[in-house]
Structure 1
Amino acid sequence: MFGGSMVALVTPMKVSGEVDFGALERLIAFHVEQGTQALIVAGTTGESPTLKTDEHAELIGEAVRLAGGKIPVIAGTGSNSTDQTLHLTRKVEKMGVDGFLLVVPYYNKPSQEGLYQHFRTVAEQVDKPVILYNVPGRTSCDLLPETVARLAELETVVGIKEATGDMQRLEDLKARCGDRLELYTGDDATAMEFMLRGGIGDVSVTANVAPAAMQALCEAARAGDREKAAAINAKLMPLHEDLFIESNPVPVKWALAEMGLIEPGIRLPLVPLSAQYHDRVRQALRTAGVLD
């Protein structure tokens, strides 16, 4: 259903902190032109925790309008409240999104049964495809493969973004879910290996700044061409690493501003990239061939 390089899109903001819809239009046009396969809007990289509910919905609706059917829009609507997640998901479903990315509830650390009931409650009340999102490094809660297998029985649950970077986790999910679930990675540094082993896409931070190269990497890895994929990945590895030198999306928003695509706006409690890392991220952009 989805696959390839799926950008975890930043939410462009003006220096004042307000959402910059003009820059959003530029970013979406950039990704359409460069071959990105899907837009993930208002996820972790999109600073979803700082978006007001109405603003969150407006951002997603505007992304759908600007995409104009040229590229799928997957809406990040998950939170640590089941009621809030369901309310927002149903609200934006009417806006024409192509699917939803629902993160594991963070901070409250539910049991596996609680996780199952959370996702089931939402998935059974929407018609569009649902992608689960497991990122225990952020949520302090791990959606285990046995729970994923239960959720894969639900009609609208079509995939999982597994961001642990653990190849054994991938193998476990494949064994338990077979063809019932599409497997995406959320870890750029291990994305090549993930797709060579049968994953079908990467929800990518690196794709914000190097979309064409990330799509080429995904195509080579999915085709089983390790040599070609490795050559592309070697040029991108400094970005895979240095775009996380401070908390995401701090480095990638600085990089996009350096490329002239957005203003350097970001919302508290995040602050702009520390000056000591500017040259390092700038060099990673040059190595990837996206900055002169």
Structure 2
Amino acid sequence: MTKSAYVALVTCFNEDETINFEATRAQVRRQVAAGNNILCAGTNGDFSALTFEEKVTLTEAVVDEVSGKAKVIVNAGMPATFETVKLAREIDRIGVEGIAVITPFFIACTQDGLERHFTTVADAVKTPIYLYDIPARTQNHIEPETARRLAAHGNIAGIKDSGGKQDTLEAYMAIGREVEGFDVYSGPDHLVHWALQNGAAGPISGLGNVMPEVLARIVSCFNAGDEAGAAAAQEAYTALRVDLYALGFPPAMVKRALWVMDNSVGASRQPALLPNPEQDAQIRAILEKHGLIAA
């Protein structure tokens, strides 16, 4: 199958912390031009800081800007099943390629509870549902056997794995090989090429906000059978990841790096990371080192 790259798009904010739709649309255009698809309102999109209504209007703006030139998946996950269904139905109405549903956060869930949660959402909409596992942030983890049972649901189309553990990703990909129509998307930026080689449908990457062309190159080279080209692009991608993520929480570092490149993206909503001149200087040096801005 042809692999596809998605970027977990940042949400841009004005100085008063309202959404800057024009700047967000510009980032959409930048990703589409690079050849990437869009995941909207994910971890790198500050989804937990957005209101219900903002997630709906943000989705509408992104879909309008993409205008059929790329695929759009939107994260509709909320702590409770009731509100997740309500938001998923709004996104279903707008029309996207997929609805990602992050595991509930704050509410501790059993595997049975997770299965009921995802099944209820998948039953409520026509748009294909993608499970979204990121236990470091939500404290809830979709065990591979739970994912296997959910893969049998006719409207659950795959999973986004952002757990960062290679053995878990391997277990999810084993399900993808066994269950037709269950696609696995890898989240870890350093495993993009490896995941493609082992059956992933593609990456959904936050770092692609900073290096969109390189992310697209990993996937396009792989699709063309150019393993050396894919490996070289992955090496450049991983090198930026190592340098940038050494400074702090990855989504915050992605947003600040992008801000150093183009301050129209704005800062994240509080209490997230504030501008820090010393750290921004370190980020600028990293971007210069990797040829992303002029020295």
Q: TM-score, normalised by structure 2?
A: 0.92
Residue in 1 that maps onto 2:95: 96
Instruction: Check conservation: 2:122, 2:156, Cα contact below 8 A.
Output: yes
Residue in 1 that maps onto 2:252: 250
Residue in 2 that maps onto 1:193: 194
Instruction: Check conservation: 1:120, 1:151, Cα contact below 8 A.
Output: yes
Q: Deviations over 1:257-291 (max 9, x none)?
A: 22226243210120225433323322332344321
Please say if 1:241 is aligned against 2:242.
yes
Query: Compared with structure 1, are the counterparts of its residues 228 and 273 closer, same or farther at alpha carbon in structure 2 (3 Å cutoff)?
Result: farther
Q: Give the alignment partner of residue 278 of structure 2, picking from 276, 279, 282.
A: 276
Identity, in percent, stands at 30
Deviates more, 1:167-176 or 1:44-53: 167-176
Q: Which SS does the other structure have where 2:268 is aligned?
A: coil
Q: Which SS does the other structure have where 1:94 is aligned?
A: helix
Alpha-carbon deviation of 1:225? 4.5
Alpha-carbon deviation of 1:171? 2.7
RMSD between aligned residues: 2.0
> As a proportion of its length, which structure holds more helix?
2
Residue in 2 that maps onto 1:26: 26
For 2:86 and 2:232, locate their aligned partners in 1 and report how far apart those are by CA, in whole Å.
44
For 1:139 and 1:209, locate their aligned partners in 2 and report how far apart those are by CA, in whole Å.
25
Instruction: Check conservation: 1:99, 1:129, Cα contact below 8 A.
Output: yes
Deviates more, 1:103-112 or 1:246-255: 246-255
Q: Which SS does the other structure have where 1:69 is aligned?
A: coil
Q: Which SS does the other structure have where 1:116 is aligned?
A: helix
For 2:214 and 2:126, locate their aligned partners in 1 and report how far apart those are by CA, in whole Å.
33
Q: Deviations over 1:199-253 (max 9, x none)?
A: 1211111111211110111233456644322211222223323443322432222
For 1:224 and 1:78, locate their aligned partners in 2 and report how far apart those are by CA, in whole Å.
36
Alignment map for 1:68-83 (pairs within 5 Å):
68-83=67-82
**Structure 1 letter corresponding to 2:288:** R
Q: Deviations over 1:90-140 (max 9, x none)?
A: 012111222111101112120000000000000011111111111111111
Residue in 2 that maps onto 1:118: 117
Residue in 2 that maps onto 1:132: 131
For 1:231 and 1:2, locate their aligned partners in 2 and report how far apart those are by CA, in whole Å.
20
Query: Compared with structure 1, are the counterparts of its residues 73 and 61 closer, same or farther at alpha carbon in structure 2 (3 Å cutoff)?
Result: same
Residue in 2 that maps onto 1:174: 173
Deviates more, 1:105-114 or 1:264-273: 264-273
Deviates more, 1:222-231 or 1:264-273: 222-231
Structure 2 gap segments, 5+ residues each: none
Instruction: Check conservation: 2:24, 2:265, Cα contact below 8 A.
Output: no
Structure 1 gap segments, 5+ residues each: none
**Matched length:** 291
**Structure 1 letter corresponding to 2:71:** P
Alignment map for 1:202-241 (pairs within 5 Å):
202-221=203-222, 225-241=226-242
**Structure 2 letter corresponding to 1:51:** L
Deviates more, 1:180-189 or 1:109-118: 180-189
Please say if 1:4 is aligned against 2:34.
no
